[in-house]
Amino acid sequence: MEHRYLGNSGLKISAITYGNWLTHGSQVENERAHRCVRAALDAGITSFDTADVYANTVAESVLGEALRGERRESLEIFTKVYWPTGPKGPNDTGLSRKHIMESMNASLRRLGTDYVDLYQAHRFDYETPLEETMQAFADIVRQGKALYIGVSEWTAEQIREGHKLAREMGFQLISNQPQYSALWRVIEDEVVPTCEELGLSQIVWSPVAQGVLTGKYRPGQPLPEGSRATDEKGGKDMIARWMNDETLTAVQNLVPVAEGLGVSMAQLAIAWVLANDNVAAAIIGASRPEQVEENVKALDVKLDADALAAIDKALEGVIERDPAKTVSPEGRLC
């Protein structure tokens, strides 16, 4: 397993990070979820990403149970705060001091740990003063409940504002967690240059575009049984933007590229995001242990300039690059 520094910090995380969004507590039974976590540990993965909102807090509990008995100091555990949880009362969402403090304590209980290595603002909160949010994060760091602070899906301007306040309050933002894949490149023009300047790394989610980049969805063909595109609990909605013939046809153009390198389509997609110097880790999910074992092999795939150019050519016309696609909800959801 390769480990990379996270931003301008001394923290190293595994370049392949295991995440349990849309799986633990919802799509995957607990026993199989535990086997997936064991497969991740066996593969050398030390970093695990979750959030309080995943399966409405259940995913954190499942991950905590799966990691019980492991040496805590040998793990990097990440979680997040913002989205509504619990009974969804008026203060059960956002980045107010009240919600951050209460969510932090609840996450620690569910995860069965005294601290998390990285606590992330899951979105930007337009209704809470940024000073209030950053002060709450500063206090959490001083209390030892989180060692580092990151954000997720913040724009370049929001990252710059948050970084400035964090420095004034005695801590630093070290990471951003955006969606990023060969199909979804909206962070490249503004977010990545800003993060490189300020000392943040990317921990990217959906490197295989919700499974689309595996090539299993074919234009004009029935959806694979049990696939994310058939999941009525949320997976179907998330993948919908790519379920059109133009995109699916372009993805099939990647098949000869992967075959020429002797790798799977998923390995090709993960290797592509890891080729970006500002990416510290790619988050993978799994519903079966075998998927973890297969995806970790992406670390052995090194893409040269010709391979990168071939990927761009294959996907020409369906790549999303608009920085404005990085957005947070403008209003509270409770």
Whether 118 and 175 have beta carbons less than 8 Å apart is answered as yes
Say yes or no to pLDDT of 196 above 80: yes
Biggest alpha carbon distance in the chain? 55
Q: Which two tokens stand for residue 60?
A: 């954190």
Q: Write out the E strands in 126-219.
A: 146-151, 173-176, 201-204
Report the C-alpha gap between 291 and 25 in whole angstroms: 18
Count structural domains, the chain.
1
Tell me the pLDDT tens digit for each residue of 173-186: 999 999 999 999 99
Q: Considering the domain boundaries, does residue 333 fall inside one?
A: no
Confidence at residue 226, expressed as pLDDT on a 0 to 100 scale: 62
Mean pLDDT of the chain: 93
Confidence at residue 235, expressed as pLDDT on a 0 to 100 scale: 64
CA–chain centroid gap for 3, Å, is 16
Rounded average pLDDT over 23-42: 82
Q: Considering the domain boundaries, does residue 331 fall inside one?
A: no
Rounded average pLDDT over 18-24: 80
Say which residues have a Cβ less than 8 Å from residue 75's Cβ, sequence separation at least 6.
46, 47, 48, 67, 117
* Count of C-beta atoms within a 10 Å radius of residue 65: 17
Confidence of residue 193 (pLDDT cuts 50, 70, 90): very high
Q: Considering the domain boundaries, does residue 146 fall inside one?
A: yes
Q: Considering the domain boundaries, does residue 83 fall inside one?
A: yes
Q: Considering the domain boundaries, does residue 169 fall inside one?
A: yes
Report the C-alpha gap between 206 and 31 in whole angstroms: 24
**CA-based nearest residue to 182, from 94, 244, 248, 270:** 270
Say yes or no to pLDDT of 28 above 70: no
Alpha helix (H) ranges present in 173-321? Answer: 191-198, 235-239, 245-252, 255-261, 265-274, 289-296, 305-314
Tell me the pLDDT tens digit for each residue of 207-256: 999 999 999 988 887 777 766 655 656 566 778 888 899 999 999 999 99
Q: Which two tokens stand for residue 17?
A: 């990070």
Confidence at residue 32, expressed as pLDDT on a 0 to 100 scale: 85
Tell me the pLDDT tens digit for each residue of 121-166: 999 999 999 999 999 999 999 999 999 999 999 999 999 999 999 9
Can you state the angle between helices 30-42 and 58-67, rounded to 10 degrees? Answer: 50
Q: Sign of dihedral through CA atoms 140, 144, 148, 152?
A: negative
Confidence of residue 94 (pLDDT cuts 50, 70, 90): very high
Q: Considering the domain boundaries, does residue 283 fall inside one?
A: yes
Whether 101 and 133 have beta carbons less than 8 Å apart is answered as no
Confidence at residue 9, expressed as pLDDT on a 0 to 100 scale: 98
Among the residue ranges 29-33, 227-231, 274-278, 296-300, the one predicted with the least confidence is 227-231
Rounded average pLDDT over 285-302: 93
Whether 325 and 183 have beta carbons less than 8 Å apart is answered as no
CATH number at residue 176: 3.20.20.100
**CA-based nearest residue to 162, from 135, 192, 201:** 135
Q: Considering the domain boundaries, does residue 334 fall inside one?
A: no
Report the C-alpha gap between 316 and 296 in whole angstroms: 27
CA 313 vs CA 250, 309, 310, 322: distances in Å: 9, 6, 5, 18
Q: Which element (helix H / strand E) includes 38?
A: helix 30-42
Rounded average pLDDT over 81-104: 94
Domain that holds residue 275: 3-7+14-325
Say yes or no to pLDDT of 25 above 60: no
Q: Considering the domain boundaries, does residue 156 fall inside one?
A: yes
Catalytic residues: 54
- The most confident of the ranges 54-63, 242-251, 272-281 is 272-281
Q: Report the residue count for the chain.
A: 334
Rounded average pLDDT over 251-276: 97
